[in-house]
Chains A and B, each alone.
Chain A
């Protein structure tokens, strides 16, 4: 199925009133007509020919005709808790948040406490940029209804489904908890100084270096059977602080992940076992980079490779997908 589109093709899709989720380099979005779409900046995709990095094309998710837009709305960081009040009666809410924005941080830290968060699917991703552009441009979201964009707000497209159709959100995370130490934290956050390792408090940076932990392997928490990753961003040996791509939470038990021998092969096996045809999916830029997915395929699953994935809450190094079920 076609997923990579030129700007002219995207304009035609918008004019034909299709409901679209767009991913592409920031500069590509200028001059798109208004319509039923939202977008986010990112130039890394898993397309029909495999992993690709391009600033010249969009990755387009064309939602099925059964998806009717009920609301397209930008939410400032302080308004994020109101997203769930706008949930459709029966449908899905697609969210994109610019990386490193206050909205990104606030959502990651607080989403699980939003009222009724789990009552309807909230899925999406964190927009980013080409890694060569770090520090030069800001990740952005784009509002197809107003033709505005923002490096601070989240954008959400709430869509309704017919009464006989239900959305099902799932994740595919190849990482599992390793058999090593139990790791806990005394407070929530993206930045960590100390950790409780097997019940004993110590500097987390020292623990990681003393134990030669591979920082390409995330911390994994077991959410009642769903494996939830927190990926390492950096370790500052001078300040003895560890920065993460998602927050850790007090009270949650983490372990360093078991290594994956061949991401491409194992991913293909797992997705074939599930036999799903998602209407939306996204995967992580870290999987793209660490597993060397450029030019390689992840089965028939396609989507933007993002700076964070959202399935109700912020995830790392995880594929998120949505399927529709008729009942």
Chain B
């Protein structure tokens, strides 16, 4: 299940820089986009980055279930 957008898991996801070992190409590219956004714009891009990640997982929750489990764990 996709955590609520206000859940702290999202802030951790966009700022940790952790390599999760995602399997889906779409997740890998989305995550790279988010990391680059934070690297270039810092805290001012947090909301935008969380929107990108949250909307991605909501839209693709069935297809990238394994990747979603990785960020939830």
Q: Give chain B residues whose Cβ lies under 8 Å from the Cβ of A273.
A: none
Q: Please give the residue numbers on chain A whose beta carbons come within 8 Å of chain B beta carbons, in ascending order.
A: 112-113, 116-121, 166, 168-171, 223-226, 249-252, 311-313, 325, 327
Asked whether B9 is an interface residue with its Cβ less than 8 Å from the other chain, the reply is no
- The interface centre, meaning the residue of A171, A249, A250, A251 with most chain B CB atoms within 10 A of its CB, is A251
Chain B positions 46 through 65: 1 when the CB is less than 8 Å from some CB of chain A, otherwise 0: 00000010011001101100
CB-based nearest B residue for A119: B59
Flag if A169 contacts B39 (CB, 8 Å).
no
Docked-complex contact B63 and A169, CB < 8 angstroms: no
* Beta-carbon contact of B59 and A223 below 8 Å: no
Give the residues in chain B near A223, CB-CB below 8 Å.
28-29, 32
* CA distance in complex: A250, B27 (Å): 21
Q: Chain A interface mostly helix, strand, loop or mixed? A: mixed
20 A-B pairs (CB sep. < 8 Å): A112-B36, A118-B27, A119-B55, A119-B56, A119-B60, A120-B59, A166-B63, A168-B24, A168-B63, A223-B32, A224-B20, A224-B22, A224-B29, A224-B32, A225-B22, A226-B25, A226-B28, A226-B29, A312-B25, A312-B29
Residues of A within 8 A of B25 (CB): 169-171, 226, 311-312
Task: Kindly list 11 other residue pairs between chains A and B, CB separation below 8 angstroms, not including A224-B27, A327-B63.
Answer: A112-B33, A112-B36, A119-B59, A224-B19, A224-B32, A225-B21, A225-B22, A251-B36, A311-B29, A312-B25, A312-B29
Closest A residue to B19 by CB, please name it: A224
Q: Do B19 and A116 touch across chains, with their CB atoms under 8 A apart?
A: no
Q: Tell me the smallest distance from the CB of B23 to a CB of chain A, in Å.
A: 9
Q: Contact at B59–A225, with CB atoms within 8 Å?
A: no
CB-nearest residue of chain B relative to A116? B55
Could you mark each residue 28-43 of chain B with 1 if its beta carbon is under 8 Å from any beta carbon of chain A, else 0? 1111110110011000
Residue pair B28, A224 in contact (C-beta under 8 Å): yes
Residues of the B chain whose Cβ atoms lie less than 8 Å from the Cβ of A327: 62-63
Bound-state CA distance A312–B24 (Å) is 13
Q: Tell whether, in the assembled complex, residue A225 and residue B40 are in contact, meaning their CB atoms are under 8 Å apart.
A: no
Q: Is the CB of B24 within 8 A of A224?
A: no
Measured in the bound complex, the distance between the Cα atoms of B28 and A306 in whole Å is 24
Residue of A nearest to B30 (CB): A118
Q: How far is the CA of A192 from the CA of B26 in the complex (A)?
A: 28
Are B19 and A251 closer than 8 Å at their CB atoms? no
Question: With A119-B59, A168-B63 known to touch, is A312 a contact of B35 (CB < 8 Å)?
Answer: no
Contact, CB under 8 Å: A252 / B36: yes
Identity of the chain B residue whose Cβ is nearest the Cβ of A168 in the assembled complex = B63
Cα–Cα distance between A168 and B28 once the two chains are bound (Å): 13
Interfacial chain B residues near A116, Cβ < 8 Å: 55, 59
- Shortest Cβ distance from B43 into chain A, in angstroms? 16
Find out whether the CB atom of B32 lies under 8 angstroms from the CB atom of A325: no
Q: Which residue of A lies closest to B37 (CB)?
A: A113
Chain A residues, Cβ within 8 Å of B56:
118-119
Q: Would you give the shortest CB distance from A80 to chain B, in whole angstroms?
A: 17
Q: Within 8 Å CB of A168, what residues of B?
A: 24, 63
Question: With the chains together, A116 CA to B54 CA distance in Å?
Answer: 10
A-side contacts of B31, CB under 8 Å: 224
Closest to A169 in B: B25
